């Protein structure tokens, strides 16, 4: 297999690219989904999150209320510190689930894509080596409009999320492959298909990854 890190700023188009890669034949591990799983009812992150952030952040059903937590870590008075503490709780649990998820493909010739929104931010803390890093990019204004129009965030919530993430230039410094997430979707899919073919040939020539 080869392991690919797929990243990009919020609402750049990562999940859309990931879905196309999956359609092409890649195996995709979605870190946002795993991070939701760890704080859903019964998840291993629920206890530590509620201990740290208080039972006000509970959803009343044994899980965490993500919008209450988002208000704290992206817009609260101690947002940076809170976000750091949340990341320290959630990320190791997510990495554990990701390692389990990719186990069936370790010996094969699959293209295994880890969709990691914060790949650049976490640096060497992530316990995986990526053979390639694929970056999806779109200008901030496009991303803000997507968050406001499609996710019902206020403009200031959208700006806060972008502000809590790293810069495009630091993401670029880490990237091997680039997809423009603001181009027309059909064109974007064509570039994703071309990249998949490249990755697939690489995977067929590989026998392992650590
Ligand atoms: C704060 C939480 C509860 C908000 O949930 P919500 O459903 O509103 O957002 P969702 O999880 O769908 O995330 C949407 C996007 O927000 C951005 N984002 C999420 N967490 C963070 C963070 N800690 N720092 C910066 N950006 C973040 C990412 O671009 C992500 O793709 C949730 O995002 C969370 O648990 N975050 C911490 C875990 C994390 O770092 N997740 C990212 C992948 S590991
Ligand atoms: N090339 C494109 N043209 C128009 N709309 C697009 C394009 N790519 C993605 N979108 C739309 O933009 C929105 C954000 O895309 P997507 O959910 O893939 O982003 P993301 O980077 O995964 O976001 P997040 O960081 O929140 O997980 C979606 O509604 C998606 O349909």
Tens digit of each residue's pLDDT, the chain (210 residues): 999 999 999 999 999 999 999 999 999 999 999 999 999 999 999 999 999 999 999 999 999 999 999 999 999 999 999 999 999 999 999 999 999 999 999 999 999 999 999 999 999 999 999 999 999 999 999 999 999 999 989 999 999 999 999 999 999 999 999 999 999 999 999 999 999 999 999 999 875 545
Return d(Cα 143, Cα 13) in angstroms, integer: 9
Answer yes or no: are the C-beta atoms of 76 and 67 closer than 8 Å. no
Per-residue confidence (pLDDT) for residue 7, from 0 to 100: 98
Per-residue confidence (pLDDT) for residue 206, from 0 to 100: 74
Instruction: Look up the domain containing 182 and give its range.
Output: 2-40+93-204
Return d(Cα 114, Cα 126) in angstroms, integer: 11
- Ligand 1 lined by 83 (C-beta under 6 Å): yes
Give me the helices (H) in 6-154, please: 14-24, 31-38, 46-53, 66-75, 79-102, 119-122, 140-150
Residue 48 lies in a domain: no
Residue 60 lies in a domain: no
Return d(Cα 70, Cα 82) in angstroms, integer: 10
Residue 129 lies in a domain: yes
Number of domains in the chain: 1
Residue 77 lies in a domain: no
Residue 186 lies in a domain: yes
**How close is the Cα of 48 to the center of ligand 1, in Å?**
17
Q: What is the CATH number of the domain that holds 105?
A: 3.40.50.300
- Ligand 2 lined by 150 (C-beta under 6 Å): yes
Nearest ligand 2 atom to alpha carbon 10: 25
Per-residue confidence (pLDDT) for residue 209, from 0 to 100: 47
Q: Tell me the ligand closest to 33's alpha carbon.
A: 1
Residue 45 lies in a domain: no
Q: Classify residue 68 by its DSSP letter.
A: H
Tokens of 139: 């200008």
Answer yes or no: are the C-beta atoms of 4 and 111 closer than 8 Å. yes
């Amino acid at each position: 297999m080869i392991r690919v890190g797929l990243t990009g700023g919020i609402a750049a188009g990562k999940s859309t690219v990931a879905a196309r890669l999956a359609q092409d034949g890649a195996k995709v591990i979605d870190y946002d989904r795993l991070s939701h799983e760890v704080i859903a009812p019964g998840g291993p992150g629920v206890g530590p999150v509620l201990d740290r952030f208080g039972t006000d952040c509970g959803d009343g059903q044994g899980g965490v209320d993500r919008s209450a937590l988002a208000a704290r870590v992206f817009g609260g008075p101690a947002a940076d510190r809170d976000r750091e503490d949340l990341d320290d709780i959630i990320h190791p649990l997510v990495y554990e689930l990701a390692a389990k998820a990719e186990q069936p493909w370790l010996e094969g010739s699959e293209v295994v894509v880890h969709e990691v929104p914060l790949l650049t931010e976490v640096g060497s803390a992530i316990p995986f080596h990526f053979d390639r890093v694929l970056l999806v990019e779109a200008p901030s204004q496009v991303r803000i409009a997507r968050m406001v129009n499609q996710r019902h965030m206020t403009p200031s919530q959208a700006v806060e999320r972008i502000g809590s993430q790293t810069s495009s230039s630091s993401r670029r410094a880490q990237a091997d492959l680039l997809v423009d997430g603001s181009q027309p979707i059909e064109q974007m899919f064509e570039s994703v298909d071309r990249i998949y073919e490249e990755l697939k040939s690489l995977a067929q020539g590989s026998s392992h990854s650590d």
